[in-house]
Amino acid sequence: MSATTPPGSITGKVHALGLTLPQPSGPGGNYVSTTRIGPLLFVAGQIDPAAALGRLGDTVSVEDGARAARAAALNIIAHVVKAAGDDLAAVRRVAKLTVFVASTPDFTQQPLVANGASDLLVAVFGDAGRHARSAVGVAALPRGASVEVEAIVELSV
For residue 53, give the amino acid letter.
L
pLDDT (average), residues 25-34: 93
Q: Identify whether the C-beta of residue 136 lies closer than 8 Å to the C-beta of residue 101.
A: yes
The 8-class DSSP code of residue 27 comes to: P
Residue 57 has pLDDT above 90, yes or no: yes
C-alpha distances out from residue 36 to 25, 119, 122, Å: 16, 24, 22
Edge to edge, the sheet with strand 40-46 lists 34-37, 40-46, 147-155, 91-102, 132-138
- Domain borders along the chain are 32-155
Residues contacting residue 51 through CB under 8 Å, at least 6 positions apart: 64, 67, 68, 71, 72, 145, 146, 147
In CATH, what number does 32-155 get? 3.30.1330.40
Whole-angstrom distance, CA of residue 69 vs CA of residue 100: 9
46 strand-pairing partners: 149
Residue 84 has pLDDT above 70, yes or no: yes
In this prediction, residue 2 carries a pLDDT of 47
Residue 6 has pLDDT above 70, yes or no: no
pLDDT (average), residues 1-11: 69
Whole-angstrom distance, CA of residue 83 vs CA of residue 123: 20
What confidence tier does 8 reach under pLDDT thresholds 50, 70, 90?
confident
Give me the percent of the chain exceeding a pLDDT of 90. 89
Residue 43 has phi, psi (to 5 degrees) of -105, 120
What confidence tier does 63 reach under pLDDT thresholds 50, 70, 90?
very high
In this prediction, residue 153 carries a pLDDT of 98
pLDDT (average), residues 119-132: 98
In this prediction, residue 4 carries a pLDDT of 57
What confidence tier does 7 reach under pLDDT thresholds 50, 70, 90?
low
Whole-angstrom distance, CA of residue 88 vs CA of residue 99: 23
In this prediction, residue 49 carries a pLDDT of 82
Could you give the count of Cα atoms lying within 13 Å of 106 in the half-sphere of its Cβ? 2
In this prediction, residue 28 carries a pLDDT of 87
